[in-house]
């Protein structure tokens, strides 16, 4: 090989080394850029999560302040619906008696800011003149809540009833869209929310067919399927002009709603259940006090086959409408206080209650207020809409006991209880 050949090989080797070094430098640059990007992205994500969390906390503070406003306004409201002072009227006329879309973002905070209680809420205005409430004082982070709305008129009562013996009691205080007391012709109960996760009861499956009038064991009901809970619904009415034990007995009736794919109920009030027809003293009985008739004409307990549907086709698997029955065309909420009591059998369940006057959807008045508020932390926002269970005094939390007995003498428990009467075996 000539010397020129050796020089060419050496030159090629040098060029290869330079290319290798350049490739490694490019690789290291990519790694450095990627690492920097990851660090910046992680930092930005952590900052965003922190801001979102603090914005949510600010919104939750707005919910708590809404509770304070409700307690204040209901304590100031007189029996005739007026308020104890002109200042309370200015504030509480914006808090009580509205639907969620009745008021603007500035109405409630603006009314509070112009009152003597405004100092308790740290309200200020931003550069645009919009009201907001600072969280944590002047030295805290730039955190506020704004656009506070409170609706005491709501179209449904939503909740969860547990199958552990406890019940849920819902006052049927109902008004029309103008806020006037309204007598409902039917009460609609929906249960078993078809949502996967903690917010629901999972997708309904295995709903039995047929006009069922009896109950099965819990293991047989839950075995291999996600059948909706069996629900017991009771409605009791008490006259606003005075009430006695006999009046309560005469205006208290209950039915057990057992899910069935061919049962009564369904959307738009189809096949309603007349609850007072199942009252022991009404005409749904055959003359034998110990053997009431069911809705199919057979002798048995008041168990109704309630319309339920398998699958996720509707928000709630079961929907049943209840009408007064007993010769009544409507529930007289003008002259009576009505309460609905729900129990769940075999499993817990989410439920929703709505009321109608014909086809007109009515509103619950102050039964389960809704708060809508937006929290702000720097450039992050969090909006919360929460259902509240109002408790205006310590006594209100326990005004409806699950079980109670009152006596001035001895208590005897040797009693046989039938459906509508009983035998007292006690020796007094």
Read off the pLDDT of each residue in 226-248 and give the average, rounded to a whole number: 87
Q: What pLDDT was estimated at residue 7?
A: 52
- pLDDT (tens digit per residue) in 62-84: 999 999 999 899 889 888 889 98
| Domain boundaries, given as residue ranges, for the chain | 11-151+370-392, 156-361
% pLDDT > 90, the chain: 39
Q: What pLDDT was estimated at residue 217?
A: 81
- Closest by alpha carbon to 109, among 135, 92, 132? 132
pLDDT-based confidence at residue 49 (cuts at 50, 70, 90): confident
Read off the pLDDT of each residue in 144-160 and give the average, rounded to a whole number: 94
- By CB neighbour count within 10 A (0-12 exposed, 13-18 middle, 19+ buried), where does 166 fall? exposed
Read off the pLDDT of each residue in 85-110 and give the average, rounded to a whole number: 92
pTM of the model as a whole: 0.78
Cα angle, residue 352 at apex, residues 214 and 209 outer, rounded to 5°: 30
Query: Which range (105-114, 207-216, 276-285) has the least confidence?
Result: 276-285
Read off the pLDDT of each residue in 160-183 and give the average, rounded to a whole number: 92
Find tokens 């699950």 and name the residue: 402
Q: What pLDDT was estimated at residue 138?
A: 56
Query: Which range (173-182, 212-221, 249-258, 319-328) has the least confidence?
Result: 212-221
Dig out the tokens for 360 from the structure: 């007109």
Q: What pLDDT was estimated at residue 241?
A: 84
- pLDDT (tens digit per residue) in 360-401: 999 999 999 999 999 988 888 899 999 987 655 544 444 455
Read off the pLDDT of each residue in 275-294 and give the average, rounded to a whole number: 55
**Higher pLDDT residue, 87 or 295?**
87
Read off the pLDDT of each residue in 120-136 and give the average, rounded to a whole number: 87
pLDDT-based confidence at residue 282 (cuts at 50, 70, 90): low
Q: Look at residue 140 and tell me whether its pLDDT is greater than 70.
A: no
Compute the mean pLDDT over every residue in the chain, rounded to the nearest whole number: 81
Q: What pLDDT was estimated at residue 403?
A: 60
Q: Look at residue 113 and tell me whether its pLDDT is greater than 50.
A: yes
- pLDDT (tens digit per residue) in 52-65: 788 888 999 999 99
- Closest by alpha carbon to 215, among 166, 261, 254, 260? 260
Q: How long, in residues, is the chain?
A: 428
Q: Look at residue 272 and tell me whether its pLDDT is greater than 60.
A: yes
């Amino acid at each position: 090989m000539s010397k020129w050949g050796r020089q060419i090989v050496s030159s090629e080797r040098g060029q290869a080394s330079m290319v290798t070094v350049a490739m490694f430098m490019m690789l290291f640059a990519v790694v450095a850029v990627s690492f920097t990007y990851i660090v910046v992205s992680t930092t930005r994500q952590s900052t965003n999560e922190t801001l979102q969390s603090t914005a949510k906390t600010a919104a939750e503070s707005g919910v708590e302040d809404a509770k304070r406003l409700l307690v204040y306004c209901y304590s100031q409201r007189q029996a005739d619906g007026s308020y104890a002072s002109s200042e309370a009227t200015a504030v509480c006329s914006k808090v009580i008696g509205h639907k969620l879309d009745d008021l603007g973002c500035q109405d409630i905070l603006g009314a509070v800011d112009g009152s003597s209680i405004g100092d308790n809420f740290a309200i200020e205005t931003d550069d645009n003149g919009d009201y907001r409430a600072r969280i944590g004082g002047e030295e805290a982070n730039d955190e506020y809540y704004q656009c506070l709305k409170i609706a005491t008129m709501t179209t449904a009562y939503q909740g969860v009833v547990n199958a552990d013996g406890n019940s849920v009691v819902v006052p049927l205080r109902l008004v029309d869209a103008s806020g006037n007391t309204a007598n409902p012709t039917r009460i609609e109960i929906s249960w078993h929310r078809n949502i996967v996760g903690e917010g629901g009861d999972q997708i309904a499956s295995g709903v039995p067919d047929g006009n069922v009038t009896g109950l099965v064991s819990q293991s047989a009901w839950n075995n291999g399927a996600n059948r909706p809970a069996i629900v017991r619904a009771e409605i009791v009415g008490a006259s606003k002009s005075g009430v006695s034990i006999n009046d309560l007995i005469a205006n208290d009736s209950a039915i057990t709603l057992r899910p069935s794919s061919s049962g009564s109920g369904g959307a738009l009030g189809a096949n309603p259940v007349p609850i007072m027809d199942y009252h022991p003293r009404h005409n749904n009985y055959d003359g034998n006090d110990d053997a009431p008739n069911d809705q199919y004409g057979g002798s048995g307990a008041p168990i109704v086959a309630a319309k339920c549907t398998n699958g996720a086709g509707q928000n709630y698997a079961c929907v049943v409408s209840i009408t007064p029955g007993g010769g009544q065309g409507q529930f007289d909420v003008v002259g009576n206080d009505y309460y609905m009591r729900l129990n769940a059998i075999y499993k817990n369940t989410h439920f929703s209650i709505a009321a109608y006057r014909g086809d007109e959807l009515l509103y619950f008045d102050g039964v389960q207020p809704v708060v809508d508020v937006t929290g702000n932390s720097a450039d992050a926002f969090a909006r919360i809409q929460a259902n509240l269970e109002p408790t205006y005094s310590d006594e209100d939390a326990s005004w409806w006991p699950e079980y109670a007995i009152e006596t001035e003498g001895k208590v005897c428990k040797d009693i046989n209880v039938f459906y509508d009467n009983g035998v007292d075996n006690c020796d007094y």
